[in-house]
Amino acid sequence: MKPCNELLISKPHVILDSIIIRKNHEIENREILRNIYKEESNTYPKFYKMDALSQLAFAGASILDNRGIFRAWNKERVGLLFINSWGSLESDMHHQKLIDTKNTAPSPSVFVYTLPNILIGELCIYFGWNGENLFMIDNKFDRSEWLDMAQSWIENNAVDHVIGGWVEYYQNEMALQLIILDKFCQP
């Protein structure tokens, strides 16, 4: 089974299905994500409260949603499968810094993002998806391993659509490789 769509977000550009759709030069990563949100979604004010990892995944999903890719999906049959190497370490360090500087526990709105799988929750809440989901930590992204796992979910009738891939935001470095496998898609 081949991916139906693939989106890449990095510092230099955004690529959808091998076509550059946006250039991201001369601005910081968080600003890139805010600009994508403003242009592609702008309907979920909670975006500004999210950590950078969740914002990155949300920005990528918003680009795909605006192109109608999710329109015919059965929301009950959508699986989310993400991998990265640092988990939520960026948010963990921010959380610890607040503890160290204020000498008290930060608000739960900061703490919740110390779990990398919260980005899956954000996507599920916004898009209404209710299928299987998994967030894994690995040293590097093995695309063929991801495809095999996503395909097994579809072949075992757990879901009809799988969205996910590699999502990393750490020390102001970001990378998103968002892949879609769809039972009904013939790329």
> Is it the case that residue 8 has pLDDT exceeding 60?
yes
Mean pLDDT to the nearest integer, 24-43:
84
Alpha-carbon distance 131 to 78, whole Å? 5
The helix (H) or strand (E) run that includes residue 2 is: none
> Is it the case that residue 36 has pLDDT exceeding 80?
yes
The answer to whether 131 and 83 are in contact (CB under 8 A) is no
> Is it the case that residue 69 has pLDDT exceeding 80?
yes
Whole-number pLDDT of residue 111: 55
> Is it the case that residue 54 has pLDDT exceeding 60?
yes
Domain 5-182 belongs to what topology?
Peroxisomal Thiolase; Chain A, domain 1 (3.40.47)
pLDDT band for position 127 (cuts 50, 70, 90): very high
Nearest to residue 116, comparing CAs of 97, 138, 132?
Answer: 138
Mean pLDDT, the chain, whole residue set: 87
Mean pLDDT to the nearest integer, 141-152:
96
The answer to whether 113 and 54 are in contact (CB under 8 A) is yes
Whole-number pLDDT of residue 113: 55
- Tens digits of per-residue pLDDT, 90-124? 666 666 676 678 766 666 666 555 567 889 999 99
Domain boundaries, the chain: 5-182
Taking CA atoms, 177 is separated from 17, 49, 79, 109, in Å, by 11, 23, 16, 27
Mean pLDDT to the nearest integer, 71-89:
90
